[in-house]
Each structure stands twice: as C-alpha cells, then as structure tokens.
Amino acid sequence: MPQTPREPRRRFLASAGALALGGLAPALVRAQGEALQLGVLTPLTGAGGFDGPRMAKAMQAVIDEVNGNGGLLGRKIVLVVEDGQTNPEAAVRAARKLIDVTKVPAIMGTWASAVTSAVAPLCWESKTFLTTVSGADSITKLPHQGYLIRTQPNNHLQAGKHAEFIASMGVKRCFMMSIQAPFAQPTQSRATEVLKEKGSQMVGTLIYDKDKTTYRSEVDQALRANPDLIYLNGYAPDVTILLRDLYRAGYGGKRFAQSYAVTTKVLDSLPHEVTEGVITVQPSADVTSPAYELAKKRLGVAEPDSYETQATDWASLVSLAIAKAKTPTGTGIRDSVRSICQGSGQKVYSAVEGLKLLAQGKDINYEGASGPCDFTEIGDITDCKFRYNKVENGKFVLLKVA
Amino acid sequence: MENYLIAMCVSAGIYALMALGVNVVWGFAGMVNLGLVGFFAVGAYASALLTIKAHWAIAGGMAAATIVAALVGAVVALITVRLRGDYLAIVTLGFAETIRIVASNAIWLTNGTDGLSGIPGPGRGTLSPEMFNLVYLAIVGVIVAIAYVMNERLRASPFGRVLRAIRDDEQVAAVAGKHVTLFKVKAFAISSAALGLAGALYAHYTSYIAPDIFVPLLTLYIKLALLAGGLGNDRGAIVGAFAVVFLLESTRFVIPYVPGITPVQGAAIREFLIAAFLLVMLRYKPTGLVPEQPTRLPVPPAPRYQPTA
C-alpha cells in the first residue's frame, strides 16, 4: 500500500516537465511575431516589490489605451514584463533576455540605483532605450549616449528645490544633519549654495552615523549654531531618534525632513508634541495637470503617486517617440524623444491625443502626469513638483504642491 | 537569441568556477562556507579598483584579485580554525555581510552604494557586443577548464585525500599525524582564490559592481548548484552550475504561458519553483545529478605469513 501514491506523483512530475518543455518552444517562435514588443523591467520581488507592480500596471493601462485606439505604427503593442528582483545581478540577466531574445527597442522601469547602473551599459551597448526612477546623481553622468532618461528628480534638483522652499518660509539660519550616504555631501553643498542665493544662510552641517541609539552630541552641536530650521536628511529609524532628542533638548524651531524619513509609522511611534509642526517633502505628481486627471481615471486610483505617474509618462513618451521616428528602434526613440516632449509644439496630455496629432503631421509637446517631462542633454528632468506636508496632531496636513 | 545564450553561458561559467572553488572546502574538506559571496566581492573589487584607479592591465587585475582573495581566505580560515559545522557557517555568513557593509561605507575607495562603473573589459567598445560576449565566453571557458583539471588533480592527490579524511573524521586525521589546521587554511585559500577570480571575471564582464550585487542570494545559488550537481564532485559542480542557470532562465519563458496570472504572481512562482527544485533534489537525489564516486585505493595483498625457520 505505501507504494501506491508514488505512481501518480511520478506521472505528475513527468507531465509537468513535458508541459514546461512544450511551453518553451512557442515562446521562441512568438517572440518574432507581429506585435510591437516593449520591455518592462520593474522590481516585482525584493525591496522594490511595493512600487514595481504598480508601475507595471500604470504602463499597461497606457498601452491598453493606445491599443484601443489603433495601436502604434499600425501594430498592437505588447508589454513584456520581466522581474528585476531589486538585484543588479538578476536584473542584468533579465535585461539580456529582453534585449537579445525579445529584441525590445526600450526597457522601462528600473527602480534601484544599483540596478539601473548595472543595466544601463547593456542598454547603450545594444542601442536600447532605458527609462528609470533611480535618483542617484551618478546615473545620468554615465556615458549613455542619450539612451537613458529619468523622470525622477536627482539629488541636485531636489536639494535646490528644498532650499528654495526653506528660504521662502522666511528661515534665516538653517542647519543640516545628514546620514552617512552617497547623497549626504552633494545635498548639503547644493542646499548651502541655493540658500545663500535666496538671502538665507546655512549656519552649519554635520554627517552622522546610522544605527545609533542616541544623537545627543549631534543635537548639541546643531543647537550651538542657533538655527531656526533644522533639515533632518536621514531615514526613518535615525530621524525618529533625532526628533526625540531635539524635543528633549528643548529645541523650538522648525524641522524639515523627507517624507520617507517621517512616515505615518514614525508619527505613531512618537508622542504628538514631539512631531508637532514637522514639515515633510516628497517629489510629487503634477496634481494640477490634465494628464494627472487622465491617469486617475485610467488607473481607477484616487491619488496616483509619483511612481505610477512616472510610469504613465514613460509608456506615453516611448510610444510617441516611436510614432515620431516612424520606426521602433532604440536609436529612433533616442533621436526623437525630445522632439515630442519639449519645445513649441501643441501641448498634449496623453499618448492617444499625441498620436492623433502626430498622424496629422503636427508638432507636439507632451506634458506628463509626473511633471512637464522636459529633459536636459544628459537625460535629467529640468523641473518637477514637490509636495509639502505639515504634521498637526500626529497627522499629515497638506501645505502645498509646488 | 544566440547572444542571450552566450551571455547565460558566461554567467553559468562564472557560477561553475565558484562552485568548483567551494567544492574544495565544502565538498572535499566538509567545511561549510556561507560567506562565499564575500570572497567573490573581494576579487571583484580588487580587480576593478586596480584596473580603474591604478590602470593595471585586466589580466594583472585578475591575477591580483586571485591572490588577494586567497590571502583573505587564509586569514578567515585562521580566525575560524576552531569552529565547525553551523558555527563556521554563521561566522562566514557574517564575514560576507561585513565585506558588503565595508564596501557600502568606504566611499573614498569603493564609491559606496553608487558602485563602480566603467570597469574595462577585454575588447569592450572596440568589438561588437556579440563579439565581446563570444571572446568572454572563450576566456571563461578556458579558466573553468583549467580550474577543473587542477581540482581533479587536487582531489586525486595525497592533499585531497587528507582533506577527505578531515571531512570524515578530523581527529583520526590528526592522530594519523596530519597538521589539520594547516590543511584547512590551505584548502580555504585555494577555494577563495577561485571565488576571487570568479568575482574579477564578473566585474570585467558586466563593467559595473555595487554592494547590492554581493547579497546572500548568490551564495544560495552556488550552494544549490553544488547540491544539484553532486557535492564533492567536480563534474557535478559544473553540471550543477549550468543546471541552476538553466532553471533560473527557462522559467522566464514558461511562466507567460501559464494562463490567468499577473506578472507579479509569475515572479513569485519563479522563486517558488527554485525553492521546490532544491527540496525535491534533497528529498529524492541527495547525492546530486553526478554523485561523488568513492575513491578506491588498490589494496596490496597482505604478505603471506612465513614462519621463520
């Protein structure tokens, strides 16, 4: 009797194996079919597993809309989605498959900076266009020959915008405490520069180590400079401790931090009097743009976030650039992308709208859901909106989007 | 398609070199090294830094990476000399994490979490991407072949015999007059050298390294390769490495044909399949695809007892 269960199990394994091998063959044949295939390489597992799937969904929604309106160059678009696993080594293998087997002209969606830096060389060597949300300044400085754009503001742009906002609040003496990270030094020097331009002043900066249980000595050092605003440029665990230590030290001035450092979880873990009045900032979708309204409807989401709107814009930009170039190649996209998203053409807010005008031979200027989508020569965006929140009674209250 | 297959063979070749290296300490000497990705990282950073910052030739960088990794391996072996089994596994796991954290924070040297990009490769830029891949495959192939022959010779040599004796019973080996510590340190150094060279090969192939690459996941892939191929067996190590890359990559082509699943579910199924493969292997074929053959030494016939007159 104990022998009987073995037989069906073996048969199952055999049939599963046959199915797997059988599946392989048509995949290779269909890769050369009629549809126009575009690559998506978002993290579906790992640290980026929260943002990646939503980004893929947002791209699919745009592509469905384009397909519903006659497709691109008379062909249907198919998104081929691979998992970047938030891991550079795995992402490189996935990118190789997209480039060499599926032969996509564009890969959209790398999230972590290390993944983007690892995948980018494959892309420019094989003349494949890459769009990304990674923020590290070093990425657009790679020798990518124009085969890369990013819709995420880099540190330089962010630091400048933050400093402008701080100066606009009437702050005269700003102090900055940064965690030891690649962005620490560049953010401090850029903020110092812009504060000075705007008639304010950086009275001091320091860089602290992560994973400490107290930051009393750092807080004392900051308070000696007598600032009326302290910019806490760290992550949630250390900023939680800094807020507590600042409160204990009796600091009554303003505090400013990135939204990922002061999350709702941080607010829940600290008493309300400790967090009262903290101002947070994050890159924001352009909530006033008609493109944002369209994205809301398309996705059926009340407030699409920065990542979803950026993904919306990639799918639109790549489709429009292919239509403009009249050929689905990476080089075509590279050469024509700036002619459909900036300049004096007619403003359009969706891919479908733009495709219609392009078909009529008109010039267009795509304005995205994440922002105006104007790019510098090295592929950085020139402008972006930021969302400023203030903590009141343990809750976030919107100050403004600007 | 061809280019993709070649690229995957290069990946598999680098995995195979790592598996061969790990086989020396794990397969022959029975020491569990869960920090192999740390030695891989040491080799990758050593060669990348020497070629970028000191403008060494690529071959020089690779040779230096091999030596540096071997020295680091010897030091780790000396530190952990009194540890065995699970304890050794934990300490080596910690070593790999230490290397990753140092690489993240020693920004002046390693450029921190931004990583090092623009690592030169043989003929990169002048050759077409397809030719570059082919040339690289040839280089990796030759190195794996040499490593295989050296490992086989090592296994058959008296040195290999002592390692297996240590694996089976350390005390017996010591009682037989073998300097167990010295053998362990040597084995660790040899193993780390192969891992370091694999790291250098990886760095010059992809042109970019960052701390995020050197995560325990890669260690597990190599362990999986050895278990699948057959522990303690060099042919098995190579077969296993190719099997792992085949498993990782073939699921990519199958999943889109499973009806009614989203890409996220597909990604989860892929990870599940890999785990399931390991479990099935361990349950039904614990000796691997190519089991280790017990070495049989010719036993000389016992001299016949001759009574003295």
Contact A45 B105 (CB under 8 A): no
Q: What is the pLDDT of residue A385?
A: 87
Chain A neighbors of B1, CB-CB under 8 A: 28, 100-101
Q: What is the pLDDT of residue A132?
A: 95
Cβ neighbours, 10 Å, residue A124:
19
Q: Best mutation site among B205, B248, B253, B255 for testing chain A: the one with the most A CBs within 10 Å?
A: B253
User: Per the domain annotation, does B302 fall within a domain?
Assistant: no
pLDDT beneath 50: ranges in chain B: none
Contact A92 B254 (CB under 8 A): no
What is the rounded average pLDDT for all residues in chain A? Answer: 89
User: Per the domain annotation, does B230 fall within a domain?
Assistant: no
Which of B4, B11, B112 is facing A182, going by the closest CB pair?
B112
Q: How many domains does chain B have?
A: 1
Rg of chain B, C-alpha, whole Å? 21
Q: Cα–Cα–Cα angle for B140, B146, B147, nearest 5°?
A: 85
Which of B3, B207, B211 is facing A100, going by the closest CB pair?
B3
Question: Which amino acid, B118?
Answer: G
Contact A24 B253 (CB under 8 A): yes
A99: which DSSP letter?
I
What are the pLDDT digits (tens) for A75-134?
Answer: 999 999 999 998 899 999 999 999 999 999 999 999 988 899 999 999 999 999 999 998
DSSP assignment of A181-210 equals STTHHHHHHHHHHHHHHTT-EEEEEEEE-S
Q: What is the pLDDT of residue B298?
A: 67
Q: What is the pLDDT of residue B82?
A: 85
Q: What is the pLDDT of residue B308?
A: 67
CB contact residues (below 8 A), chain A span 332-371, against chain B: none
A300/B contact by beta carbon, under 8 A: no
User: Per the domain annotation, does B45 fall within a domain?
Assistant: yes
Q: What is the pTM of this model?
A: 0.83
Distance from CA of B263 to the nearest CA of A (A): 7
What are the pLDDT digits (tens) for A17-59?
Answer: 444 444 444 444 443 448 999 999 999 988 788 889 999 999 9
User: Per the domain annotation, does B304 fall within a domain?
Assistant: no
User: Per the domain annotation, does B258 fall within a domain?
Assistant: no
What's the average model confidence in pLDDT over A277-288?
90
User: Per the domain annotation, does B115 fall within a domain?
Assistant: yes
Contact B264 A44 (CB under 8 A): yes
Q: What is the pLDDT of residue A384?
A: 87
CB-based contact A82:A28 (threshold 8 Å): no
What's the average model confidence in pLDDT over A163-171?
94
- Is B148 buried (19+), middle (13-18) or exposed (0-12) by CB count in 10 A? middle
Q: What is the pLDDT of residue A215?
A: 95
User: Per the domain annotation, does B236 fall within a domain?
Assistant: no
Which of B206, B212, B270 is facing A87, going by the closest CB pair?
B212
Q: What is the pLDDT of residue A354?
A: 95
Contact A138 B217 (CB under 8 A): no
Q: Is A1 helix (H, G, I), strand (E, B) or coil?
A: coil
Retrieve residue A124's tokens: 């420019």
Q: Which residue has the tokens 């060099």?
A: B234
Which of B4, B129, B257 is facing A97, going by the closest CB pair?
B4
Distance from CA of A84 to the nearest CA of B (A): 9
Q: Best mutation site among B130, B213, B247 for testing chain A: the one with the most A CBs within 10 Å?
A: B213
CA dist B38 → A88, B93, B103, B185 (Å)? 16, 8, 10, 17
Full domain range(s) for residue B196: 2-214
Distance linking the first and last C-alpha atoms of chain B: 81
Reference A85, options B199, B248, B253; nearest CA is B248
Q: Best mutation site among A12, A44, A140, A183 for testing chain B: the one with the most B CBs within 10 Å?
A: A44
Q: Which residues pair with B198 in a beta bridge?
A: none
CB contact residues (below 8 A), chain A span 138-197, against chain B: 138, 142-143, 180-182
CA dist A26 → A23, A96, A385, B95, B257 (Å)? 6, 19, 46, 45, 9
User: Per the domain annotation, does B263 fall within a domain?
Assistant: no
Contact A113 B113 (CB under 8 A): yes
- Tell me how many residue pairs between chain A and chain B have CB atoms under 8 A apart: 110
Contact B264 A20 (CB under 8 A): no
Q: Which residue has the tokens 């790398």?
A: A110
Q: What is the pLDDT of residue A27?
A: 44
Q: What is the pLDDT of residue A268?
A: 92
